[in-house]
Amino acid sequence: MVEVKKVKRSENYSEWYNNLVKQADLAEHSAVKGCMVIKPYGYAIWEKMQAELDRQFKETGHQNAYFPLFVPKSLFEAEEKNAEGFAKECAIVTHYRLKTDPDNKGKLMVDPDAKLEEELIVRPTSEAIIWNTYRDWIQSYRDLPILINQWANVVRWEMRTRLFLRTAEFLWQEGHTAHATKEEALAETKQMLEVYADFAENFMAVPVIKGVKTENERFAGADETFCIEGLMQDGKALQMGTSHFLGQNFAKAFDVKFVSKENKKDYVWATSWGVSTRLMGALIMSHSDDEGLVLPPKLAPIQVVIVPIFRKEEEKMAVLEKAREYANALKSKGISVKLDDREGQSPGFKFAEYELKGVPVRIAIGPRDVQNQTVEVARRDTKEKQVMAEVDLVHKIEHLLTQIQQNIYQKALDFRAENITTVNTWDEFKNVLENKPGFILAHWDGTSETETKIKEETKATIRCIPLDSALEEGKCVYTGNPSKQRVLFAKAY
Amino acid sequence: MVEVKKVKRSENYSEWYNNLVKQADLAEHSAVKGCMVIKPYGYAIWEKMQAELDRQFKETGHQNAYFPLFVPKSLFEAEEKNAEGFAKECAIVTHYRLKTDPDNKGKLMVDPDAKLEEELIVRPTSEAIIWNTYRDWIQSYRDLPILINQWANVVRWEMRTRLFLRTAEFLWQEGHTAHATKEEALAETKQMLEVYADFAENFMAVPVIKGVKTENERFAGADETFCIEGLMQDGKALQMGTSHFLGQNFAKAFDVKFVSKENKKDYVWATSWGVSTRLMGALIMSHSDDEGLVLPPKLAPIQVVIVPIFRKEEEKMAVLEKAREYANALKSKGISVKLDDREGQSPGFKFAEYELKGVPVRIAIGPRDVQNQTVEVARRDTKEKQVMAEVDLVHKIEHLLTQIQQNIYQKALDFRAENITTVNTWDEFKNVLENKPGFILAHWDGTSETETKIKEETKATIRCIPLDSALEEGKCVYTGNPSKQRVLFAKAY
């Protein structure tokens, strides 16, 4: 498993990433073009992400529900911008039966008699099917707000795919809320952006910039798209989550009205927000190194691995007994521990395997450790090793896990700080983009035209208009036209 | 919400069920034929089921993973029996793009240029895609066993659908394991049957009969299908879960071989097992009554509801304060509590609502209760009310929840005992089937032919050959041919 050809991160980031995803047993390509298999270790990390996000969604008053996988074409096309945005990349069910192929023994063929009257679109996102349902749920302001989230699979027929980052089918959550006022819907949109930012920074240990998308980059059907943008180690940006203020667009498309407290009929206000298995890509690309994954303790399926070391049979019992004692003590504090007592694999082999898998803390115990009442503790992030006395070991390990979580975040934060460049001229812009990958803060004249031209010339896009950026008079780096605020550019995944 | 036309359970079970699912906010039909929307309250129950099942799967050594939604037709047809079993009811993706309809402004149409070279089947079950993947994962006995579970949606294009019981799309888990020996695979099949039976009885409070399916009723592609069968209140059986011993059928279809310890090449042995949102139907149909749902405490999203009662403003503060105190005390013991302090709804309205929703315990607190340091406690299952002193209240409520869980199970168990009839002649068989719905234990000659004839004449099927039934010489009720064991017949969902 570990003996695969190594490509260094610094040599070819893209190949390094692909190899890592496969070698660390996170995911692989499937027999279905563009669809991935998420392997148990990868899925275990996703489950940890889900659990924490789900907790935060519920804490902010949301409930889970489930809506159909399919969207009838007539509903799909109801919100025109949304439909236009997804029409070119959707899987379409046209038939509901196979039959024996008379010309090919043992083979099946689509039964032409089983053609659907109306085609079904495999959901690329669920606004249409959900707002068609909300129409029956909402009559009065008393029925509002509706605060619902769904964990689901969605399909977008992407041509160029990449494990976790861009796949034809992916797993995600999509929140869909309905409100009586614009203000409340906007507040919800921003609240969920904060939830995402908190999760990214405090659990994934990935610092993010919160901002608003330009019109070019907005979700199809939204009035405003808020986002969190992370910076990967190769200097490219990754959109990690979006929260959309949908205005009354879907309410109008699906005729969802309510009677207000003042007894007036009005269209309902909407938001939607989502993060996906793409976050797995962000997690991997933010922290990992040439030895493998580096996982923040809060999302690591195994937080501590214990490797017992012995040569002679008479050493084995004492070492294993100690190892089990430590494992139980750590587990009793809620730390997830794996005791790897496999025989026939050398300690060195095991060390390499857990480095590859990003386990934050490794404890090694040999006969001398048992004698001295010590253990050897290695941390994955800095690769530092230290001998620790067993006195108060659990507490020390707990503390170490906290430190590692903080250190991984700080490292990513420092990296980002070094890789945000403020530029004022077009030459500077192109020069930085060429020679120093990362975010660029520059003035922009606010037009889609300019944005498109910059993208065509440099492949850089406006990642967002940062929420915390100060107003500042300036001139667009491309056109020289006046600008009131710097925006964030980067090449992006 | 509560003011819907009431149909009594005894009058029309089927209509009573449909109404209950909608009125208790569990699920509803969607705009997609045969697909349901699972509403938040229904989904919350499903989440409780998932959490416990997932815990038990992990405890028995399984890990979760995720495989693609789509199965290419060539893989789908590889295991012939399996393919034949599902071919007639599967959704087929044939195109991957929509385009603007030139003849209909604002409408979309399937783009004929975006036809897939190979059609994709929306998974009705995942053996094919998974065993095609396992081929690359398995070389040697060291790679075995593989113990994987997947939580997913599947689609079976059913013509007659019913909320939760039979829907075109449903949610489920499907375990797919790979083993080096037949014995190990059989042991796994039986282990998971036990997990399902334990879950049904100790969490859902539904007694089940464990058995083996006849060839007619076996899963397409299995060598042996084990099942748990529950008895609903109308005397019809419901298959609640199945665990399949797949032999080497899928390994042969997908050429999955391994090198054994003895250095021999052999095909891998397989199992698969699943339960679905159909369990929601079983839960509803096993316990509920004319007032609504009756939920076993272990699966109730709200275990205790507290309804404060007051008329005058000066009573309000004292009552609410007490209510909050109790709510917090109960929550601190891990009991899920809802304090319903909504104003503008009468206590009577609230009582009816929580009865409809099956909340196991209701606590009402009025001004006199505050004075007397008492509360009124009502249990949903027996509808008994009692006044409880607040001394040691949390402990008493915990005890009551345990009692309710047991009582619901016992009631279902008693009902089943009364509705299993042993018959020895064909007249008896038909007579019982007509006049006393439930399970029938009868001798059968072991042939598919007889089973089919009985089904055609009476609509009764063999639910299973019970695992615990004693061998007993007898004569088939239909043909008079010799039989060695009674089997379980019933009309079924």
Nearest residue in chain B measured CA to CA from A167? B68
The total of other beta-carbon atoms located within 10 Å of residue A254's CB is 22
Closest CB to B171 among A66, A87, A108? A66
Q: Are residues A461 and A489 in contact, defined by beta-carbon separation less than 8 angstroms? A: yes
pLDDT at B5: 60
Which of B37, B143, B345 to mutate: most A Cβ within 10 Å?
Answer: B37
Closest CB to A97 among B39, B88, B96? B88
Taking domain B300-407, whether its CATH number is 3.40.50.800 is answered by yes
Residue-wise pLDDT for B438-479, tens only, equals: 999 999 999 999 999 999 999 999 999 999 988 999 999 999
End-to-end CA distance of chain A: 28
pLDDT at A438: 97
Q: Are residues A128 and A243 in contact, defined by beta-carbon separation less than 8 angstroms? A: no
Inter-chain CB proximity B43 and A64 less than 8 Å: yes
Residue-wise pLDDT for B178-202, tens only, equals: 999 999 999 999 999 999 999 999 9
Question: Sorting pLDDT into bands at 50, 70 and 90, what band is A1?
Answer: very low
CA dihedral B115, B116, B118, B121 (to 10 degrees): -100
Enumerate the domain spans of chain A. 24-287, 297-407, 420-490
User: Is A75 an interface residue toward B (CB < 8 Å)?
Assistant: yes
Inter-chain CB proximity A108 and B76 less than 8 Å: yes
Residue-wise pLDDT for A438-486, tens only, equals: 999 999 999 999 999 999 999 999 999 999 988 999 999 999 999 999 9
Residue-wise pLDDT for B372-400, tens only, equals: 999 999 999 999 999 999 999 999 999 99
| A420-490 CATH | 3.30.110.30
For residue A212, the number of C-alpha atoms closer than 13 Å in the C-beta half-sphere is 16
pTM above 0.95, yes or no: yes
User: Is B43 an interface residue toward A (CB < 8 Å)?
Assistant: yes
User: ipTM for the complex?
Assistant: 0.97
User: Is A261 an interface residue toward B (CB < 8 Å)?
Assistant: no
CA of A294 to nearest chain B CA: how many angstroms apart? 21
User: Is B349 an interface residue toward A (CB < 8 Å)?
Assistant: no
The share of chain A scoring above pLDDT 90, in percent, equals 96
Among the listed residues B456, B432, B457, the one whose alpha carbon sits nearest the alpha carbon of residue B442: B432
Closest CB to B108 among A31, A73, A129? A73
DSSP B14: H
Inter-chain CB proximity B37 and A83 less than 8 Å: no
Q: Is the pLDDT of residue A96 over 60?
A: yes
Nearest residue in chain B measured CA to CA from A122? B93
Q: Which fold has domain A24-287?
A: BirA Bifunctional Protein; domain 2 (3.30.930)
User: Is B1 an interface residue toward A (CB < 8 Å)?
Assistant: no
CA of A379 to nearest chain B CA: how many angstroms apart? 26
Nearest residue in chain A measured CA to CA from B62? A40
Which of B 269-298 lie inside 8 A of A, CB atoms?
Answer: none
Q: Are residues B222 and B476 in contact, defined by beta-carbon separation less than 8 angstroms? A: no
Inter-chain CB proximity A129 and B96 less than 8 Å: no
Closest CB to A120 among B32, B75, B108? B32
Among the listed residues B184, B174, B118, B113, the one whose alpha carbon sits nearest the alpha carbon of residue B148: B174
Ramachandran angles phi, psi of B31, nearest 5°: -75, -10
Among the listed residues A286, A277, A300, the one whose alpha carbon sits nearest the alpha carbon of residue A205: A286
Q: Cα–Cα distance between A202 and A297 in angstroms, integer?
A: 11
Q: Does an H or E element contain A400, and which?
A: helix A393-418
User: Is A73 an interface residue toward B (CB < 8 Å)?
Assistant: yes
Q: Is the pLDDT of residue A2 over 60?
A: no
User: Is B261 an interface residue toward A (CB < 8 Å)?
Assistant: no
Among the listed residues A173, A65, A26, A300, the one whose alpha carbon sits nearest the alpha carbon of residue B277: A65
The residues, any chain, with a CB within 8 Å of residue A452's CB and separated by 6 or more, are: A216
Q: Is the pLDDT of residue B159 over 90?
A: no
User: Is B94 an interface residue toward A (CB < 8 Å)?
Assistant: yes
Closest CB to A171 among B43, B66, B98? B66
For residue A126, what are its two tokens?
């669920």
CA of B106 to nearest chain A CA: how many angstroms apart? 7
Residue-wise pLDDT for A216-234, tens only, equals: 999 999 999 999 999 999 9
DSSP B135: H
DSSP B292: B
Q: Any alpha helices (H) in A109-163, and if so which ranges? A: 127-137
The residues, any chain, with a CB within 8 Å of residue A372's CB and separated by 6 or more, are: none
Taking domain B13-68+126-287, whether its CATH number is 3.30.930.10 is answered by yes
Inter-chain CB proximity B87 and A108 less than 8 Å: yes
Q: Cα–Cα distance between B154 and B149 in angstroms, integer?
A: 14
Which of A 110-129 lie inside 8 A of B, CB atoms?
Answer: 110, 119-122, 129
Inter-chain CB proximity A70 and B32 less than 8 Å: yes
- Of A4-18, A62-76, A240-254, B85-99, least confident by mean pLDDT is A4-18
Chain B hits for A40, Cβ within 8 Å: 63-65, 148
Helix (H, G, I), strand (E, B) or coil at B250: helix
User: Is B35 an interface residue toward A (CB < 8 Å)?
Assistant: yes
Maximum pairwise Cα distance, chain B: 84
CA of A55 to nearest chain B CA: how many angstroms apart? 13
Instruction: Quote the mean pLDDT of chain B.
Output: 96
Average pLDDT of the residues in A32-54:
97
β-pair type (B257-259, B265-267): antiparallel
The residues, any chain, with a CB within 8 Å of residue A330's CB and separated by 6 or more, are: A304, A337, A394, A397
Which of B 165-194 lie inside 8 A of A, CB atoms?
Answer: 169, 171
User: Is A135 an interface residue toward B (CB < 8 Å)?
Assistant: no
Residue-wise pLDDT for B267-280, tens only, equals: 999 999 999 999 99
Inter-chain CB proximity A98 and B110 less than 8 Å: no
Q: Are residues B493 and B166 in contact, defined by beta-carbon separation less than 8 angstroms? A: yes
CA of B467 to nearest chain A CA: how many angstroms apart? 33
pLDDT at B1: 44
CA of A40 to nearest chain B CA: how many angstroms apart? 5
DSSP B123: P
Inter-chain CB proximity A132 and B35 less than 8 Å: no
Chain B hits for A108, Cβ within 8 Å: 73, 76-77, 83, 87
Inter-chain CB proximity A95 and B92 less than 8 Å: yes
Residue type, A247: G
Domain A297-407 in this protein, CATH class = alpha beta
Question: Sorting pLDDT into bands at 50, 70 and 90, what band is B210?
Answer: very high
Average pLDDT of the residues in A297-322:
96
Nearest residue in chain B measured CA to CA from A301? B63
For residue A424, what are its two tokens?
């004022």
pLDDT at B4: 52
Average pLDDT of the residues in A146-163:
95
Inter-chain CB proximity B69 and A148 less than 8 Å: no
Inter-chain CB proximity A108 and B98 less than 8 Å: no
Which of A93, A155, A343 to mutate: most B Cβ within 10 Å?
Answer: A93
